[in-house]
Amino acid sequence: MITMRALVVGLTLALTATAVPAGAATPFKVVAHPDVPALSISKATLAQIFLRTRPRWDGGEKTKPVDQVASSPAKVAFVRIILDRDLDALKAYWEQQVFAGKGVPPPEKPDDAAVVAYVAATPGAVGYISASTRVEGLKVLEVTGLGGADK
């Protein structure tokens, strides 16, 4: 039988394992089309864009999020850190949205290079790529609200 103390310790460990300490680098970076009006984006706004509950940028242009395939380490980290879910929970979310006729998930690209190409060619686009991927000609958006003082 699990004791209350063991349950609390287990839950605490699970929650702290998904937190990003203030100032810590994420394993991905967020890139946007050069015409996107933002230089930074909050974690909450980014989640809304990728869950398709925020259809427009502040300037009025349509948001066009682009995802990566489930086998991508960048996607696993992005879903955990930005969407506060795991891949199974995200899949269930989209199954519900599609079934209810409320929306479809963002298009998936097979790798960082394909995301970069899509974002570069698509006004309003935003995506995420591995932190080590070099990009030219795109905006790299600072993500705020990941932890610490800006939470």
Residue 150 pLDDT > 70, yes or no? no
Across the range 77-100, mean pLDDT stands at: 97
Over 70: is that where the pLDDT of 35 sits? Answer: yes
CATH of the domain at 136: 3.40.190.10
Looking at residue 26, its pLDDT comes to 86
pLDDT tens string 41-88: 999 999 999 999 999 999 899 999 999 999 999 999 999 999 999 999
Mapped onto helix, strand or coil, the DSSP state of residue 92 is helix
Average pLDDT over residues 88-95: 97
Tokens of 18: 């998904």
Rg of the chain taking only CA atoms, in angstroms: 16
Per-residue pLDDT reduced to its tens digit, 108-118 = 999 999 999 99
Show the domain range for 129.
Answer: 4-150
Res 100: pLDDT: 96
Tally of domains in the chain = 1
Q: Is the pLDDT of residue 135 over 80?
A: yes
The C-alpha atoms of residue 144 and residue 73 are separated, in whole angstroms, by: 21
